[in-house]
Amino acid sequence: MFEGRFWKATAERAVKSAAQALLLYWGGDAVFNAWHADWPAAGGIASGALVLSVLTSLVSAKASGEPDSPSLVTGQL
């Protein structure tokens, strides 16, 4: 779990989760007006999603029995 491969995959998942949370927060507006955005709220939501993603990866590695993978899916697909 403390290998570079695990943390690289975990970081990728966390950044994706943060981006998805921001898109969900901002909604489906066709044109996003960055000047009127509530940046502290957006940052808090993205940070929360990032932390939850990292925690999920840690638990998944423990539950799957594969400490070098942040996924619950074991083995080759």
Burial class (CB in 10 A: 0-12, 13-18, 19+), 32: exposed
**pLDDT tens over the chain, length 77 residues:** 677 889 999 999 999 999 999 888 887 554 567 777 888 998 999 999 999 999 999 999 888 888 888 988 876 54
Strand, helix or coil at 29? coil
- Give the H or E element holding residue 69: none
63 to each of 23, 49, 50, 56, 60, how far by Cα in Å?
Answer: 30, 21, 20, 10, 5
- Which is it for the CA torsion 52, 54, 57, 58, positive or negative? negative
pLDDT at 77: 47
